[in-house]
């Protein structure tokens, strides 16, 4: 039985963001291939509590669970300052006269705890999520003979380009990815960029989802449009654009369901809008909707909500950023426009033209089955993780 140490700072069971869904799918893959899994996370980053930890342990996703605090309690303020704050300042700011220009989330305390786990175990694979945590394996002799893998999730430099010097940030991101034996890229764009500059092997590992069951059973749809979004800054900009420039162009008879924390940033209230802050299971909502929305103006990487909609055979109306990361850029079930008027026209075309709707629904389902269906993706990962 192969053994993997799987580090993810967030709680994968909180399925309210695409990055957590991604981590959950990777854990499920290792579980399906009978890996022994040691799961490691960070208490404060993942907003864990004792109930969350117990629920994860009972989920049977891992054989052992370690949720580590990257900093001690402040109850003893002198200890906190002398043995955490001061040493960690110099650890995280080794070149503090010349700022790193890239997020460093590993603390000295956390790395010591991580090393302790490595010291007590032998692993075939060490799997790290995010380049911002990549230094967990840097200059770490305790990784032994394990094959190190990073799941990049996103192009971090593009996410922080307003805050950081792009050249220095990109250089550091490539250096960090090159610390690993294998890098997984969620999108074709990121695979291309990373493979041009990284020394390591860069593999395309797209988002993988189950084919939903019985999703054609609902004949009378409750919603014309479904919009699923968390509350990150990119979604906030997108929602503002849609409701300022597109929504006023739509008939008031168009029924819209908005799901996710984006609702906390929307002030618009109308009889044709249903708001759901959190849904444990999105399947019922997708099955009861005709068309999915993805009005993205900024951001990088594959939009998980797009892949989810494709899995239900839902046509999608989106901006150019909405198809970022998709393997097929055309004939994929997406109608794309950055112009508000045309965006609105695309929505109404799908809601009023039955032939066009059927065509795009078939394209959506074919794109999903070809590129993102779980078992097909599992077969590809088997070659990466040497499963015979």
For the chain, list the domains and their CATH numbers: 3-207+374-384 (3.40.50.2000), 223-371 (3.40.50.2000)
Q: What is the DSSP string of 38-53?
A: EEEEETTTTT--HHHH
Task: Check residue 325 and give its pLDDT.
Answer: 83
Distances (CA, A) of 152 to 40, 58, 104: 17, 28, 14
Using the CB atoms, write b or e for 253-272: b if 16+ within 10 Å: ebbbbbbbbbbeebeeeeeb
- Burial of residue 362, with CB atoms counted within 10 A of its CB: 0-12 exposed, 13-18 middle, 19 or more buried: middle
Dump pLDDT digits (tens) for 28-53. Answer: 999 999 999 999 999 998 999 999 99
Distance CA 188, CA 128 (A): 20
pLDDT over threshold 90, residue 76? no
Mean pLDDT over the full length of the chain: 88
60 CB-side CA count, 13 A: 3
Q: Does residue 176 surpass a pLDDT of 90?
A: yes
Asked whether the beta carbons of 54 and 137 are under 8 A apart, the reply is no
pLDDT tens-digit profile of 354-376? Answer: 999 999 999 999 999 999 999 99
Structure tokens at 85: 């704050």
Q: What is the DSSP letter of 388?
A: -
**Quick one: average pLDDT of 108-137?**
94
pLDDT tens for each residue of 319-358: 999 898 888 888 899 999 999 999 999 999 999 999 999 9
The shares of helix, strand and coil residues in the chain, as percent rounded to the nearest 5, are: 45, 15, 40
pTM of the entire predicted model: 0.82
Can you tell me which residue has the tokens 């993810």?
8
Lowest average pLDDT, out of 53-62, 124-133, 206-215, goes to: 206-215
Return the H-helix or E-strand segment holding 109.
helix 108-119
Instruction: Give the pLDDT band (50/70/90) at residue 95.
Output: very low
Q: Is the pLDDT of residue 78 over 80?
A: no
Q: What is the dihedral of CA 261, 264, 267, 268, to 10 degrees?
A: 30
* Distance (Å, whole) CA 277 – CA 334: 25
b/e 319-335 (16+ beta carbons within 10 angstroms → b): bebbbbbbebeeebbbb
Q: What is the pLDDT of residues 256-293, one digit of tens each?
A: 999 988 888 888 888 999 998 888 788 899 999 999 99
Confidence category of residue 214, pLDDT binned at 50, 70, 90: low
Statement: residue 161 has pLDDT above 50: yes
């Amino acid at each position: 039985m192969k053994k993997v140490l799987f580090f993810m700072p967030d709680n994968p069971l909180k399925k309210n963001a695409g990055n957590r869904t991604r981590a959950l799918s990777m854990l499920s893959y290792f579980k399906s291939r009978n890996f022994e899994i040691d799961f490691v996370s960070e208490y404060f980053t993942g907003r864990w509590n004792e109930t969350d930890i117990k629920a994860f342990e009972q989920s049977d996703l891992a054989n052992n669970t370690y949720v580590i605090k990257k900093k001690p309690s402040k109850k003893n303020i002198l200890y906190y300052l002398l043995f955490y704050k001061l040493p960690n300042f110099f650890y995280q700011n080794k070149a503090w006269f010349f700022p790193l220009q890239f997020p460093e989330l590993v603390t000295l305390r956390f790395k010591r705890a991580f090393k302790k786990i490595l010291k007590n175990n032998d692993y075939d694979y060490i799997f790290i999520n995010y380049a911002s945590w990549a230094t967990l394996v840097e200059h770490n002799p305790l990784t032994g003979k394990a094959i190190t893998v990073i799941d990049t999730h996103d192009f971090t430099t593009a996410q922080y380009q307003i805050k950081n010097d792009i050249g220095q940030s990109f250089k550091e991101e490539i250096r960090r990815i090159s610390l690993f034996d294998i890098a997984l890229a969620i999108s074709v764009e990121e695979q291309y960029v990373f493979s041009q500059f990284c020394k390591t092997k860069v593999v395309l590992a797209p988002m993988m989802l189950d084919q939903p069951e019985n999703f054609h059973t609902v004949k009378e749809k409750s919603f014309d449009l479904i919009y699923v979004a968390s509350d990150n800054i990119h979604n906030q900009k997108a929602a503002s654009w849609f409701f300022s420039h597109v929504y006023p162009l739509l008939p008031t008879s168009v029924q819209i369901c908005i799901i996710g924390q984006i609702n906390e940033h929307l002030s618009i209230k109308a009889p044709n809008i249903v708001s759901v802050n959190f849904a444990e299971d999105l399947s019922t909502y997708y099955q009861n909707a005709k068309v999915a929305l993805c009005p993205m103006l900024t951001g990088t990487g594959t939009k998980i909500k797009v892949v989810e909609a494709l899995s239900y055979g839902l046509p999608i109306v989106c901006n150019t950023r909405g198809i970022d990361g998709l393997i097929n850029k055309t004939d994929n079930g997406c109608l794309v426009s950055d112009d508000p008027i045309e965006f609105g026209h695309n929505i109404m075309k799908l809601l009023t033209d039955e032939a066009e709707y059927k065509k795009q629904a078939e394209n959506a389902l074919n794109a999903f089955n070809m590129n993102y269906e779980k078992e097909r993706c599992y077969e590809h990962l088997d070659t990466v993780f040497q499963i015979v």
